A and B are shown apart, each in its own frame.
Chain A
Amino acid sequence: MVTVAQRIERVWTMVRTVHDPELPYLTVEEMGMVRGVTMRDNQIVVSLTPTYSGCPATDVISEDVENAVRSVEPEAQVEVVLSPAWTTDWILPSAYEKMREHGIAPPEGQSADRAFLTGQGKVIPCPFCKSKDTSMVSAFGSTACKALFKCNACLEPFEHFKCI
């Protein structure tokens, strides 16, 4: 007899295999998008919170999670939960080093900090040479979650994961 706890754990194992299509070296769990796996009316429900209102990856992620968990729980449902809103504070610490390895400066500090919203008033170190002599080129980058920066020391452009 498989217990509920075991079923939930089995689903979690599958959820952990799903990666963020825009940041493929990170899992959706590391992105802090998985709110939980619960049993509701004898059905497993995986709750996800999107990172940005208009994030085009949200649909793909929901589908990927659904496909992954249905291999062990054919009746499992995926629901999108908007409240409370996702914040960069939910990104797991393991994601930070992986972002740096891929040339993206991770979010810095608490997202509540107003100064971060413009990418100003806070030093964003270069993910390549670690120099703190960097400047923002644009608050908008290749995806909704990133801003464009350049390093004044090594002259490399890089992206910064916005604190939101």
Chain B
Amino acid sequence: MTEGQHLQIILRLGDDALVLGQRLSAWCGHGPVLEEDIALSNTALDLIGQARNFYTLAAAREDQGRDEDQLAFFRTDKEFQNHLLLEQPNGHFGDTIVRQFFFSAFALERCAFLSRQLVDAEVAGIAAKAVKELQYHWEHAAQWIVRLGDGTTESHEKVQASIDHLWSYTGEFFNADEVDAAGAEAGLLPNLAVMRKAWNARVEACLAQATLTCPEDGWMQRGGKQGIHSEHLSYMLAEMQVLPRTYPDATW
């Protein structure tokens, strides 16, 4: 693992957390019930906090005079290396929950590994905190999957459609590129083939309980980790970045 790859791994961790955190924050004030509004907003807050920790670390390591805000607000879509799933629009509540469910199952396993690895103590420290938060996110999403899947005919059909639609974005989690491979070889990142088994077990068990069908593996989307995104990310970043880009010296 080169220094550049090490840095890229930390940035990717931050990008995943920031993009999903930003998406979820759009639910604030729009949740179907008050408790869900609070739950999604809290989840967003956790993720943005995790992103901030990873960006602060990345900024210190690259030592180019940038800080976490510059990494968040002054990079373009092609510089973001998040998984494509996370930039997908919120859709309806079921879409948001399915996106959260797929990602949390992955993030929880990944973060548990990061908290135990001995290659980078600072990453381990951030992950040790994040893993407990991700556990809450996973439980929350998994409970909703069961409630919606095993609920009414309409909720079942809607959430099954969300699963079928978002399924093609899950393959990217396990599609190791050379950065992932170098990170895994160095012991900083988990082996993605092993992760896939753990992820499948988690997801399949919950879907079965929810009387939902796990889609067959078909063609899978890819490109996010290489900076090749769906069009949704650019719009999301435009909204997220407009204020600091317009007034770069603004403070409050």
Query: Which residues of A are interface residues toward B (Cβ below 8 A)?
Result: 52-56, 81-86, 111, 117-118, 137-142, 144, 148, 162, 164
Contact = CB atoms under 8 A, between A and B. Distances in A.
Interface of B: 21, 35, 38-39, 42-50, 52-53, 121-122, 124-126, 128-130, 132-133, 135-136, 139-140
B35 A83 contact: no
B128 A117 contact: no
Contacts of A81: 125
A156 B49 CA distance: 32
A54 B50 contact: yes
A82 B126 contact: yes
A137 to B, nearest CB: 7
A139 B49 CA distance: 18
A140 B133 contact: no
B247 to A, nearest CB: 20
A143 B205 CA distance: 31
A67 B122 CA distance: 27
Contacts of B49: 52-55
8 contacts: A54-B46, A54-B49, A85-B128, A117-B135, A139-B139, A142-B38, A162-B136, A164-B132
Contacts of A144: 42, 45-46, 133
Contacts of A83: 121-122, 124-126, 128
B39 A140 contact: yes
B38 A138 contact: yes
A84 B125 contact: yes
A138 B38 CA distance: 9
A86 B21 CA distance: 22
Nearest to A117: B135
B124 A138 contact: no
Given A83-B122, A118-B139, A140-B43, A52 B133 contact: yes
A164 B49 CA distance: 16
A81 B129 CA distance: 12
A52 B21 CA distance: 15
Contacts of A140: 35, 38-39, 42-43, 136, 140
B76 to A, nearest CB: 25
A164 B130 CA distance: 10
A139 B126 contact: no
A157 B203 CA distance: 33
B38 A141 contact: yes
B97 to A, nearest CB: 14
A138 B39 contact: yes
**In the A-B complex, the 5 residue pairs with the closest CB atoms:** A83-B125, A54-B49, A53-B49, A85-B129, A54-B45
